[in-house]
Amino acid sequence: MHLRRLRAHREVSQEALADLMQVSQVAVSKMERREDMLLSTLRAFVKALGGRLHVVAKFPSETIELSFQDQKKKPA
């Protein structure tokens, strides 16, 4: 499902989502049209709509959920 359809499905306007994400309505519009984005941006979009983002890798024999939540940068 495209982000625009996801937002509409959740019955949230671009303006309301922009307020929740603390960005401009124009920024939300650009996010919805973007073909490639950072996972952190996608996670913020979904979180502002009241959800949680799950990323899975599907293989012929298994599906593995990937986690990005608890990764912290370690000093070099």
CATH no. for residue 38? 1.10.260.40
Domain count of the fold of the chain: 1
Do the domain assignments include residue 7? yes
Q: What is the pLDDT of residues 12-56, one digit of tens each?
A: 999 999 999 999 999 999 999 999 999 999 999 999 999 999 999
Q: Is residue 72 part of a domain?
A: no
User: Mind giving me the DSSP string for 7-26?
Assistant: HHHTT--HHHHHHHHTS-HH
Domain annotation covers residue 55: yes
Residue 30 domain-assigned (yes or no) = yes
pTM over 0.95: no
Return the CA Rg of the chain: 15
Instruction: Give the DSSP letter string of 35-49.
Output: SS--HHHHHHHHHHT
Q: How far apart are CA 56 and CA 10, in angstroms?
A: 22
For the stretch 1-10, pLDDT in tens is 999 999 999 9
The verdict on residue 73 lying in a domain is no
State the residue range of the domain holding 7. Answer: 3-66
